[in-house]
Amino acid sequence: MAERESKFLELLSAPVIEVEELAQLSCYGIAESCGIRALTWRVLLKYLPSKRNVWDATLLRTREEYHGFVNDLIICPGNKGYSEKRADVTLEDHPLNPNPCSEWNSYFQDNEVLNQIDKDVRRLCPDISFFQNATPYPCDALVDPSNRSERLHRRVQKNSLHYQNVSKNRLGMMAGVISKKKQAVHEYVALPEGSEAHWEVVERILFIYAKLNPGTGYVQGMNEIIGPLYYTFASDPNKEWAKHAECDTFFCFTNLMSEIRDHFIKTLDDSTTGINGSMDRVVNLLKNADQEVWQLLQEQNIRKEFYLFRWMSLLLSQEFSLPDTIQMWDSLFADQHRFDLLVCVCVAMIVLVRDRLLHGDFGHNMKLLQNYPETIDISDIINKAHDVAKHIKGRNW
């Protein structure tokens, strides 16, 4: 272990980081005892360039850019800020204006998206208390009541929205067969004046992302992707890095979504890069890896979307505890051909419970796949996934 830690530190401190070598070292997990997981993720997610001498300039630029996003979209919105005291209603700009370019129309659309984000982040990672705790680095312009900047959760409360979901709710379309494995008993509450909970920071990041990416917007489930990222960066033992966790999370999340966004876009479902194409790859690979289990699932009519939809869309973040998810993501982010390894991981998960599947009926096997056993060690899954990957080179899977 000490040798691996030394190797990580050596690679990350080099003037030019050998990213491929860093990825190879990370593919079975990152030596977190030396506190370099967050830094490694920043490199593997292509946020930090390989040349260390340009890091300062890169970080200065991105942090100034993100500060601009927060100021323009949260603190001083460019669409005039519709407060309770608004009185400048005109014929050209009023709440009932049907013009899609109307600032009021944009405001109401933002509220609908914000309502869903707020609802989702208040239940984030219920297996730990982290997200309901106060961040040591709140946004001063928002938590200081004298600044009169409207915090997002208050905007939701003030408008008293009652939308059932956002039109881009991808996981909700399978509500009858795909329920969340990890559910919060209670929603997180806002902290007193002067404080800001971690879930509020995540809410801000997701809202800014949705505003800047209208083609994708916010889709339910993105909160499960951003949660482990933010937790990892905000928990960085290097306090100077942790101080900028919000900004770094935004850009790493944006980079990650650029690679998996096709899974969140309904019109691309049946494309080779869409969710159905990815699920088909798992099924085809399973057929090659374990014909008997594949045949059983076919006979029992256990459709791929019953379990693979959630597994793949959320990068398995709902199937494991947060620490196990983070360990799994070490391997997924290290994959040079993302996300081929995710396909192999899904196959490995099925193969590792093959005996239970072969002795189970439809009901038993559905429950098993939708509530994957916590007794299966995450390292065993990763090792099995790499074994599966070794035997598929050259195959059309």
pLDDT in tens, 310-321: 999 999 999 999
Of the pLDDT bands very low, low, confident and very high (cuts 50, 70, 90), residue 106 is: low
Of 360, 369, 371, residue with least CA distance to 300? 360
Q: What is the pLDDT of residue 181?
A: 64
More confident residue, 142 or 79: 142
Residue 173 DSSP one-character state: G
- Would you say 386 and 344 are in contact if contact means Cβ atoms under 8 Å apart? yes
pLDDT digits (tens, 9 = 90+) for 306-364: 999 999 999 999 999 999 999 999 999 999 888 899 999 999 999 999 999 999 999 99
Q: What is the pLDDT of residue 328?
A: 97
Mean pLDDT within 268-293: 92
Of 323, 250, 339, residue with least CA distance to 62? 250
CA distances from 257 to 51, 147, 213, 311 (A): 24, 33, 11, 16
- Looking up tokens 């014909």 gives 291
Q: What is the mean pLDDT of the chain?
A: 86
The model carries a pTM of 0.89
